[in-house]
């Protein structure tokens, strides 16, 4: 079957932003480039801070470090190609490169979702079972949880990519997206079973994402119940503040994903899909970085202590 794919279509053309006015492309390029660089440098800064600051060597920040790695790799898997296409007239991508891009985007995307679920579990144990926290979240157990999230992301990426690229592609090779988006790519398949494959892919992806969301919601149900049992309002506020950044990122992550994949198809969807998809691939990692940096007081103080004061010392 793979040899048949190559004999029929050896490359795809990414339609992406081709329908946009030419004068807007440099503006979009500059905007997305700045967010891309900010996401990369910001996540590297978070990772370096956690590595340097020994008091941040806790399970929560270990998971945050793993989340930063997944965000960097997800962004690198999708954004550079998009930036190149914004300024280039050559929008073709080879069959193998398209498969690789789909695999890595799904792998890092699902790893990100699994890590958010694990971080929710970490907050649940810290608040609902504080006396058993060091036992349940030992360094070995945390390392196993992180390894499982990466293994799960790899399995999901491999599964979806193998299902899609097992099909035969013929006829048009134009993908109406700025990267090898699974639903846009499935429209180019020339087999009768394409509809069943689409349902299978959607079932696999939605089941995994809904499962992660459900476990996050379940964790916060127990967290809120535990917080309400705290007698003082100050204690409730202090406890809940440890969850605010994670909860905000979870809401942002699933809100943007739902807005993109569950929105009704309109007359201008061909031209708006690519632009709206950038909110998930570029803007969501950018926004998550800001949320974790600004809402987490301990991390913000550590960044200020280790980097800001060294490079920008206060004037005497």
Strand order in the sheet with 92-94: 92-94, 11-14, 174-175
Residue 117 burial (C-beta neighbours within 10 Å; 0-12, 13-18, 19+): buried
Query: Which residue reads 């600004």 in tokens?
Result: 294
Q: How far apart are CA 183 and CA 180, in angstroms?
A: 9
How high is the pLDDT of residue 273?
66
Count other Cβ atoms within 10 Å, centred on residue 30.
12
pLDDT band with cut points at 50, 70 and 90 for residue 55? confident
pLDDT band with cut points at 50, 70 and 90 for residue 7? very low
**What would be the CATH architecture of the domain defined by 11-311?**
Up-down Bundle (1.20)
pLDDT band with cut points at 50, 70 and 90 for residue 316? very low
Q: Report which secondary-structure segment, H or E, holds 93.
A: strand 92-94
How high is the pLDDT of residue 14?
84
Evaluate if residue 268 carries a pLDDT over 60: no
Q: How far apart are CA 102 and CA 185, in angstroms?
A: 10
The mean pLDDT of the chain is 84
How high is the pLDDT of residue 187?
81
Least confident segment among 82-91, 118-127, 304-313: 304-313
Instruction: Give 66-103 pLDDT, tens digit per residue.
Output: 999 999 999 999 899 888 888 877 788 888 889 999 99
Instruction: Give 139-194 pLDDT, tens digit per residue.
Output: 999 999 999 999 999 999 999 999 888 888 776 788 878 888 888 888 888 766 67
- Two structure tokens written together for 81: 């190609």
At residue 10's C-alpha, the angle toward residues 4 and 14, to 5°, is 130
Evaluate if residue 295 carries a pLDDT over 50: yes
Least confident segment among 21-30, 178-187, 302-311: 302-311
Evaluate if residue 107 carries a pLDDT over 90: yes
Whole-prediction pTM value? 0.87
Mean pLDDT along residues 235-255:
88
Instruction: Give 11-22 pLDDT, tens digit per residue.
Output: 888 877 777 778
């Amino acid at each position: 079957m793979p040899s048949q794919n190559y004999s029929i279509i050896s490359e795809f053309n990414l339609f992406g932003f081709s329908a946009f006015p030419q004068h807007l492309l440099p503006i979009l390029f500059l905007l997305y480039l700045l967010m891309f660089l900010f996401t990369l440098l910001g996540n590297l800064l978070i990772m370096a801070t956690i590595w340097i600051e020994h008091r941040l060597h806790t399970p929560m920040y270990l998971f945050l470090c793993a989340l930063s790695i997944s965000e960097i790799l997800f962004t690198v898997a999708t954004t550079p190609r998009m930036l190149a296409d914004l300024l280039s007239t050559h929008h073709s991508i080879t069959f193998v490169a398209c498969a690789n891009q789909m695999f890595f985007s799904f792998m890092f995307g699902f790893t990100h979702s699994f890590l958010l679920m694990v971080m929710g579990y970490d907050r649940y144990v810290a608040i609902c079972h504080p006396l058993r926290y060091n036992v349940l979240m030992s360094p070995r157990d945390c390392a196993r949880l992180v390894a499982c999230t990466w293994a799960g992301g790899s399995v999901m990426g491999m599964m979806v990519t193998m299902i899609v690229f097992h099909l035969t592609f013929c006829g048009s090779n134009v993908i109406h997206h700025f990267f090898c988006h699974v639903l846009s790519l499935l429209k180019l398949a020339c087999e009768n079973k394409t509809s069943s494959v689409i349902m299978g892919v959607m079932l696999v992806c939605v089941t995994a994402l809904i499962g992660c969301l459900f476990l996050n919601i379940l964790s916060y149900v127990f967290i809120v119940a535990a917080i309400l049992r705290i007698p003082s309002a100050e204690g409730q506020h202090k406890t809940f503040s440890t969850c605010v950044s994670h909860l905000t990122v979870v809401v942002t992550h699933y809100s943007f994903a739902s807005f993109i994949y569950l929105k009704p198809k309109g007359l201008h969807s061909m031209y708006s899909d690519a632009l709206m998809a950038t909110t998930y691939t570029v803007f969501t990692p950018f926004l998550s970085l800001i949320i974790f940096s600004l809402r987490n007081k301990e991390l913000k103080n550590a960044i200020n202590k280790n980097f800001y004061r060294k490079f920008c010392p206060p004037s005497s």
